[in-house]
Amino acid sequence: MQSVSEILHHRRYLYGLLMAGLGSILFSGKAILIKLAFGYGANAETLIALRMLIALPLFWGIYWWQAHRQVMSPLTLKDQIKIFSLGFMGYFLSSYLDFLGLQYISVGLERIVLYLTPTIVLLISYFVLNKAISRLQWYALAVGYLGVIVVFIQDASSTGSMALLGMLLVFASACSYAIYMIGSGEMVRRVGSVRLVVYASSASAFMSVIQILIYDPAAVFVQAPQIYWLSLLNASLCTVIPMLLIMIAINRIGSPLVAQAGILGPVSTLFMGWIVLSEPITWLQIGGMGLVMGAMWLLVRNDAPNKQQDPNNTKPIDPEGANPLS
């Protein structure tokens, strides 16, 4: 017979997996909402401004809640400049490039390309930071990018040459977020993951407002009602709420298991695109997606022993959902 502590442990483990899976699925819904908003005539500049403006008070509500639970050390000017830079790379530029790319490719290809973020982190670490890559990791990289090529062939057959532009924009988004992930490693230990997310998101919101003021100051006030509702859902249901779910899941079951549960993201995106947007699902897409998910699973399995050996290993929360290892 199981003891009470074992039952509670298993229940905590199960709830953690459910939260991680649900968070990944909700994150993936962002692309669906953006595609729907494009159908009502919105552009990327307006959508990113609305998303960040609506999400900002929600993020600060989370910060206020945590600030009352623990004492936070003040930030230096150097910390503030670094967080602002991280907010530009990780939240503003990454999101903007992603939104632009979604105009030209399917949500399935977009999510799979973003799912390659850990491989980009690995390559930057190898070529720039001179960190070693194991043979298994090289195999995973090759398999992952082969999978993206397979799915891209499917998109290109229906959207033509614009699919290449869309994929390159989304890949640039993943590269921007990978730079954020590498640069935020030290900061998240110093300032905490929630505070880093809130401050970086605030910087992104500020830059989004500046951009829309330059592009079209009246744009955020003259959109169709459907765009405001979609932006509200995007900011809350597909940004802030899944961020909380992922944060709690990491605390309950750890980053490696959360990363494995993140595999639900590309799968759910493919089927949501089919149901909501009538995007076709082919065996070519399923095969390419399987290659990418298999590659990410290999990377997670290879990285798990290192995390277990380093109990102080901490990674930033990913409000974009682009990086399943966050």
For residue 226, pLDDT beyond 90: yes
DSSP state of 263: T
* pLDDT tens-digit readout, 271-293: 999 999 999 888 888 999 899 98
Q: Which of 164, 105, 152, 113 is nearest to 282 (CA)?
A: 152
Q: Give the three-state DSSP class for 69.
A: coil
Mean pLDDT score of the chain:
85
Q: Which residues contact 157 (CB under 8 A, 6 or more apart)?
A: none
Q: Which residues contact 263 (CB under 8 A, 6 or more apart)?
A: 24, 293, 296, 297, 324
* pLDDT tens-digit readout, 9-35: 678 788 888 998 999 999 999 999 999
For residue 313, pLDDT beyond 50: no
Q: Report the pLDDT value the prediction gives residue 209, as an integer from 0 to 100.
A: 94
Helices 4-39/225-235 angle, 10° precision: 150
Q: Report the pLDDT value the prediction gives residue 219, as an integer from 0 to 100.
A: 93
* pLDDT tens-digit readout, 240-276: 999 888 888 887 887 777 877 788 888 899 899 999 9
Higher pLDDT, 154 or 176: 176
Q: Report the pLDDT value the prediction gives residue 302, as an integer from 0 to 100.
A: 66
1-15, 126-140, 223-237, 307-321 — which is least confidently predicted? Answer: 307-321
